[in-house]
Amino acid sequence: MNLISDIQYSISKNGYIAILALFIIGIISFLGVFLTSHTINQAELQNREIISAKALELSEAGLQKAINELNRNPLYSGEENFSFGGGTISISITNIDAQNKYVESAGTISEGKFNITRKVGAKVKTSTDNVSFFYGAQVGQGGLIMSNNSIVSGSVYSNGSVLGSAGAQVTGDLWVAGAGNLTIQAQNTEYANGLNVGAIPFGQKIGQEFYASATERLAKVSFYIKKRGSPPNATVTIRNSHPSGWPIGTIIAQGTLQSNLVGTDYSWVDVTFDNNPLLIQGTGYWLTLEMPFTSQSRYYTIGFSGNLYDEGIALIYFPPEWVEGDLDFNFKVHSGLSGQTKIDNVIIGGDAHAPLILNSTISGGAYYQTIQNSTAGSYHPNSPDPPLQNFPISAGQIQDWISEAQSGGVIEGDYSPTTSISLGPKKINGNFTFTNNKTLIITGTIYVTGNINFSNNVTILLDSSYGNNSGIIIADGKINLSNGVIVRKINDTGYVMLISQYNQLNDEAIEIGNNISGGIYFAPYGKLKVNNNANITEVSAYQINLANNVAISYEIGLANINFSSGAGASWQIEKGSWSILE
């Protein structure tokens, strides 16, 4: 057969093209099916991942809900399978102790053939505010007056004179700061806006130049400042001027802006220094505030005005240089005259530190500029004056506590319960009177806009939900305790603190009457008077007057007290406790 007839024959056969086509279509179809199935598998896997991620988000939402519920009701114990965000959430809460719980939150999403549950868990705790009372009595510039046989068992720090009488005794150390009669050397109190210090991307340091208006000793500085989160303590320096014009001259005094004294709203916060250098009239100095690091969530905001302080400029540090801001920060520089304060007629079990010591018996060392008619274990003339000391609680902190109290609702008008009660967190818009053998159980911070009167054998104590933490009662008016009021603490460290914000330096803000026992008392802007036979734990006030036979018994635990808002406290996740359980 020749070629032409071969082709003729082949072509004449049925189905050749069809077989070829079917073969190729078969291969293509196989590849297509393989790829499609692979793609479907991958898509399912991705879909599964997306649903899993959604379920995780849902479990996170459950955790946040648990915290919100706990903040409304500390007895909230969780709930099962409630619908939320296209899925269901189950929350379970286990009590660890009064201040700690463990929350588990499971989020489930059902979509198509998938039913995926993810679970997260975290420890939650109530927020507390740490305060350190290092002295049995801490006194402002009004000074301490001790009548016959009054005793402070512990140490005393006073920014004003301590005037004793027969048998008045401080069993620990007694410090009296040197700089009295404070005046403001330089200030700018006009607020226009705030600058973040220590916040990314703003500066880590700021500087404010000022000129001394008199030759006096530096006492303290104040900043108009607030905080976000819990920033670290910041360093404050006073520096000599430098030829560069930058605040990099010699440090003449250094102090610490304590984070716990700064509130979440603006307030004036004092910073005291390790020494009190002499500021020379007409000389320029720099005040600097420096953070140890920058953060997105933990920083300070300091108030500033436009260029209103004519005496100096303000600089902000943008590494590597200081840049002049068209502003002046809100600051005050306080100074005082040395040698204005003294210790007079006190028996001191420890050391005595004061510019002038008169008529006293000191078992330890006497540190002074001048001493008269006194005996001491050892004598240290020409000792530097003790610096001013801040109160351990600031206005900003008190403001935060007031906000916590207000979150629990308001009682309008004067409040005089006729039976024993549990109370707090609560604001009372009026006076709070509580008398005659009843018991007040504090379940959260109490804020009274008027006066507080507790009398005739009432007992004030903390609810057990406070655990080892302490609780607070705040009054804008006066606080008066009389006739056998007992302020009981719970456990070893659960104290009740009563604060009066009454602002009259020459009037009694807190008066503690006969036979009162227990409690911590704080009156930063007024007098605190303790009458006969009271036996209390700690007092701090602008001026303190201890009557005959009063005993103040400092306890070691006071150096580290955690104040809680109690049952109404805000719950939050403890850092580092969050984990994926499922």
The single residue among 24, 184, 192, 280 that binds other proteins, judged by CB under 8 A, is 24
Taken in order 513, 516, 518, 519, is the CA torsion positive or negative?
A: negative
37 binds other proteins (CB under 8 A): no
The single residue among 19, 27, 75, 166 that binds other proteins, judged by CB under 8 A, is 27
The single residue among 19, 22, 35, 166 that binds other proteins, judged by CB under 8 A, is 35
CB-based contact 382:393 (threshold 8 Å): no
Question: Is residue 365 classed exposed, middle or buried when 0-12, 13-18 and 19+ CB atoms within 10 A define those classes?
Answer: middle
> What is the smallest separation between the CB atom of 566 and other proteins, expressed in angstroms?
25
**Residues numbered 73-132 forming contacts with other proteins, rule: CB under 8 A:** 102, 121, 123
Question: Is residue 311 classed exposed, middle or buried when 0-12, 13-18 and 19+ CB atoms within 10 A define those classes?
Answer: middle
Decide whether 103 or 356 has the Cβ nearer to other proteins: 103
Decide whether 42 or 244 has the Cβ nearer to other proteins: 42
**Contact map string, positions 38 to 57, toward other proteins, x by CB under 8 A:** xx--x--xx--x--------
3-state secondary structure of 395: helix
> What is the smallest separation between the CB atom of 38 and other proteins, expressed in angstroms?
6
Decide whether 82 or 293 has the Cβ nearer to other proteins: 293
Residues that contact other proteins, how many (by CB under 8 A): 40
Beta-carbon neighbour count of residue 564 at 10 Å? 29
Decide whether 6 or 321 has the Cβ nearer to other proteins: 6
Shortest CA distance to 550 belongs to which of 538, 534, 527, 528? 534
Enter the tokens of residue 283: 């000389």
CB-based contact 454:477 (threshold 8 Å): no
22 binds other proteins (CB under 8 A): no
259 binds other proteins (CB under 8 A): no
- Residue 296 DSSP label: S
The single residue among 1, 11, 18, 556 that binds other proteins, judged by CB under 8 A, is 11
Cα 540 to Cα 392: distance, rounded to the nearest angstrom: 9
320 binds other proteins (CB under 8 A): no
178 φψ region: left (φ > 0), alpha (ψ -120 to 50), beta (else): alpha
Strands (E) in 50-192, as ranges, are 78-84, 87-97, 100-111, 114-126, 128-131, 137-146, 151-153, 156-158, 162-163, 169-170, 174-176, 180-188
**Residues numbered 476-515 forming contacts with other proteins, rule: CB under 8 A:** none
**Residues numbered 184-243 forming contacts with other proteins, rule: CB under 8 A:** 200-201
**Contact map string, positions 265 to 304, toward other proteins, x by CB under 8 A:** ----------------------------xxxxx-------
The single residue among 1, 17, 18, 556 that binds other proteins, judged by CB under 8 A, is 17
The single residue among 19, 22, 34, 378 that binds other proteins, judged by CB under 8 A, is 34
Match 């077989």 to its residue by tokens.
19
| Interface with other proteins (CB under 8 A) | 4-5, 7-8, 11-12, 17, 20-21, 24, 27-28, 31-32, 34-35, 38-39, 42, 45-46, 49, 102, 121, 123, 200-201, 293-297, 575-582
